Structure 1
Amino acid sequence: MEFEERLSALAAKVQNQRDAIQTEEATKNAFVMPFISTILGYDIFNPLEVVPEFTADVGVKRGEKVDYAIMREGEVQMLIECKKSAEALRIEHASQLFRYFSVTNARIAVLTNGEIYNFYTDLDAPNKMDDRPFLVLDLNDIDETLLPELRKLSKENFDLESVISAAEELKYVGAIKREIASQFKEPDEAFVRLFTSSVYGGRFTQDVKTQFTQLVSKAAKQYLNEQVNDRLKTALGASYSAPLETSAQADAVTSETIAEADLDRDTEIETTLEELEGYQIVKAISCSEVKPERVVQRDSKSYFAVLLDDNNRKPIARLRFNGKKQKYLGLFDENKAETRHPIAGLETIYEHADAIRETVRRHVE
């Protein structure tokens, strides 16, 4: 199983089991230990690789423990501190990581609740853990641009120097992307004031603030929608004309989803004619359940995704046509777990029409 597939499988497990996980210990057993084992590739039962309840006395603080220490060649390389699943992660939760970071050889510290993994290093000051993570992995919404760096922390591909050298850019680019997504979802006063001052010459009163908060949010959604449509027209050819959206349709696609998706796209991705033909088949099948403009494509290096409302939380199918020999059609069950079906040709997609329509109906409901 490939790295991306293992990560997707763990993400599906998190989604399926999160409601049953009520304690920190259950979070470790159900989510964190599988992450260390299947994603990072370390043997959780080998104390030469993974030390649970790692202890290193720090000044007057004696007997404190960090949940896991990842070892390589007898040296601590990563420290992992766990919190209960679904509990929001705060920097205050990392107090033990801060203390242990300065007295071990670890250059990577991880704070996690089993769903979100915040990776820290010491960019701001040597041997002092930064306040902000350089990499945030959210298993509920995986950013595929981060996977090459995450892979470098695995046992098989461990390359600490490469990770550290890329950490500063990752730290600030990631933080900016999250801030853009947040502002496009719910703009704050400073963001609204910035754009209002460029187009409106009057005083920034409370009434003006209220009016332009709505206008800035609406303009942001429309702009990003237009960027998505431009990409569609480029991919499908000049003859494609994207339908105009009503306000209700535009609101159905959240600005956060669009912002993150548009920023995450890799300009080196090559969309093939075969992928576009497959997309048109899936779209035609889906049109028995929804309007055609709601079925959108999004290409990546690993697969060609077909989504409802351009929302990566509403996958309809994945066309995995990048293999040299066998091609696969990825379909989703009610838990959004993907199953790959080998296909002999594009016409084979029609054999899965019922499953595609059922997936669309679940998203609509």
Structure 2
Amino acid sequence: MELITQIKSLADKINQLKDKIETEESTKHAFVLPFINLLGYDTFNPTEVVPEFTADIGLKKGEKVDYAIFQNEEPILIVECKNWKEDLTVHNSQLFRYFHVSKTRFALLTNGIQYQFYTDLEEKNKMDEKPFLEFDITNLKENTVHEINKFHKSHFDVDKIVDNASALKYTREIQKQISEELQTPSNEFVRLFANRVYAGRLTEKVMEEFKGLVHRAYNQLISDKINDRLNSALNKEAQKQKTDQVEAVEETKINTTEEEMEGYRIVVAILRRKLPTDRIVCRDTQSYFGILLDDNNRKPLCRLHLNGGKKYIGLFHEQKNEVKQHIQSVDDIYLFEKELLTTAALYETE
């Protein structure tokens, strides 16, 4: 089962159970430990997942972090858990202290629903104030699952995660800043655009006017982008429906005759010496009755033209151009046994 499927299953379980979970301990067992299991770590193995990991801080002895995940006898991730109802922002200082005295490069603060992964990008062995990866397990995007997967036991790589953490962290912060600027534009942001489009002096009144213009322009731009995508999707769907309707109409005009099926059976009887019968497929059209190898249009074995005034068999050689041969009846197909077997052999050598 893929990780994304497993996480969605856990998210469903969380939504069903959370109102019945009252304590931090219950949160750990019902929500957090199953997540650690999904990452491939054995929560029943005390050498791999250590509960109540001791993290003595200065004069404070016996300080413990909820879990430490070990690999090659070294801690690779410490985990601090809170009740699912608690806001995580008031608890990262405690994890900050634990991180400082541990040998790990990663720390996780979670209430079983919100997850915040930290590292030490700004100063070595000192946990950053802001997480580089943050998500709500009940509302995950596929690209986030890709980042979570990097912590899986089977391909955990400290250097790769750290290298990527910087891009993740600062991309998220930039997105946040852009969002804030576009919702409530700062003077610096407004001035950036006003200077480019307005030739006059940027007085306080002009700046106030441009704040509204920047905000409106952004909303209009987003709306237009969404409409363009919707229209593109609708046009594609309309085109697909039109194509389906045309094909459906064409199919209703196709009448496969018993004579065509008899011809098909003769071709199968000839070619079965070289090919399994399930690879010889017929496909009727308005113009001809086609017989294909593996139901592949690029591998025509022959075509039967039996519904006009004269009857023909269309044969294919190395260039795959159809050459029509006149026949009196479908029994004459046996006369072209050699050609049919030669065509079948051509495809087998491709």
Question: Which segments of 5 or more consecutive residues in structure 1 lack a partner in the other structure?
Answer: 242-272, 278-365
Cα deviation per residue 1:146-199 (whole Å; 9 max; x = unaligned)? 222211101122122211111111110122223334555x42645774578456
Give the deviation of 1:55 after TM superposition.
0.8
CA contact (8 A) 1:57 1:64 kept: yes
Q: The residue matched to 2:16 in structure 1 has which SS?
A: helix
Deviation at 1:75, TM superposition (A): 0.8
- Quick one: structure 1 residues 221 and 191, their matched pair in 2 at CA, closer, same or farther if it must change by over 3 Å? farther
- State whether structure 2 residue 36 is matched by structure 1 residue 36: yes
- SS of the residue corresponding to residue 230 of structure 1 reads helix
2:60 is matched with which residue?
61
Shift in CA distance, 174/60, structure 1 to aligned 2, threshold 3 Å? same
Describe the superposition over 1:61-96 as per-residue Cα deviations: whole angstroms up to 9, x where unpaired: 211111110111111000111122142221x51233
In structure 2, relative to structure 1, the CA distance for the partners of 1:74 and 1:227 (3 Å cut) is same
Give the corresponding residue for 1:11: 11
Distance 1:215 1:10 in 2: 45
Alignment CA distance shift 1:7-1:74 (3 Å): same
Query: 1:154: which partner in 2?
Result: 152
CA distance in 2, matches of 1:19, 1:192: 44
Flag the structure with more relative contact order, 1 or 2, with Cα contacts below 8 A and sequence separation at least 6.
1
In the alignment, structure 1 residue 187 sits paired with structure 2 residue 184: yes
1:123 aligns with 2:121: yes
Counterparts of 1:31 and 1:68, CA distance in 2: 14
Q: Distance in 1 between matches of 2:189 and 2:13?
A: 39
Q: Secondary structure at the match of 2:59?
A: coil
Distance, in Å, in 1 between the alignment partners of 2:109 and 2:102 is 17
Residues 213 and 170 of structure 1, relative CA distance in 2, 3 Å threshold? same
For the structure 1 residues 96 and 196, does the alpha-carbon distance in structure 2 shift closer, same or farther, using more than 3 Å as the test?
same
Q: Measured at CA, do residues 126 and 197 of structure 1 come closer, stay the same or move farther in structure 2, by a change above 3 Å?
A: same
* Superposition deviation, residue 52 in structure 1: 1.2
Equivalence for 2:141: 143
Structure 1 residues 54 and 191 mapped into 2: Cα distance closer, same or farther (>3 Å)?
A: farther
Whether the aligned pair in 1 keeps the contact of 2:185 and 2:215 (CA below 8 Å) is no
Separation in structure 1 between the aligned mates of residue 4 and residue 122 of structure 2, nearest angstrom? 31
Deviation at 1:109, TM superposition (A): 0.5
Q: Please tell me whether the aligned partners of residues 50 and 70 of structure 2 are also in contact (alpha carbons under 8 angstroms).
A: yes
AA partner of residue 142 (structure 2): E
| TM-fit CA distance, 1:238 | 8.0
What amino acid maps onto 2:41 in structure 1?
Y
Structure 1 pair 129–225 and aligned structure 2 pair: CA distance change class (3 A):
same
Identity rate of aligned residues, in percent? 44
Aligned counterparts, 1:1-365, within 5 A: 1-38=1-38, 40-90=39-89, 92-184=90-182, 186-187=183-184, 189-190=186-187, 193-194=190-191, 197=194, 203-204=203-204, 209=208, 216-235=214-233, 237=235
Greater share of helix residues, 1 or 2? Answer: 2
Task: Answer whether contact 1:79 1:109 (CA < 8 A) is retained.
Answer: yes
Distance 2:56 2:140 in 1: 36
- Bigger radius of gyration among the two: 2
| Residue 275 of structure 2: aligned partner | none
**CA shift for structure 1 position 57:** 1.4
Asked if 2 retains the 8 angstrom alpha-carbon contact of 1:192 and 1:212, the reply is no
Provide closer, same or farther for how the CA distance between residues 203 and 136 of structure 1 changes in structure 2, counting only shifts above 3 A.
Answer: same
Measured against aligned partners, the alpha-carbon deviations of 1:301-351 in whole angstroms (never above 9, x if no partner) come to xxxxxxxxxxxxxxxxxxxxxxxxxxxxxxxxxxxxxxxxxxxxxxxxxxx
Is the CA contact 2:190–2:214 (under 8 Å) kept in the aligned structure 1? no
Instruction: Please say if residues 84 and 111 of structure 2, whose CA atoms lie closer than 8 Å, have aligned partners that are also in contact.
Output: yes
Checking the alignment, whether the CA contact within 8 Å between 1:27 and 1:84 is kept in structure 2 is yes
Whether the 8 Å contact between 2:185 and 2:214 is mirrored in structure 1 is no
CA contact (8 A) 1:152 1:160 kept: no
Structure 1 pair 168/45, CA: closer, same or farther in 2 (3 Å)? same
Determine the structure 2 residue equivalent to 1:309: none
* AA matched with 2:161: V
Q: What are the ranges of 5 or more consecutive residues in structure 2 without an aligned counterpart?
A: 245-350
Structure 2 residue identity aligned to 1:228 = I
Aligned to 1:352: none
Normalising by structure 2, we get a TM-score of 0.59
* Matches of 2:100 and 2:176, distance apart in 1: 29
Shift of the 183–23 alpha-carbon distance from structure 1 to 2, 3 Å rule, reads: farther
SS in structure 1 of the partner of residue 34 of structure 2: helix
Q: CA RMSD in A?
A: 3.2
**2:184 is aligned with what amino acid?**
P
Contact persistence 1:66–1:96 (CA under 8 A): no
Q: What SS does the aligned partner of 1:152 have?
A: helix
TM-score, with length taken from structure 1: 0.57
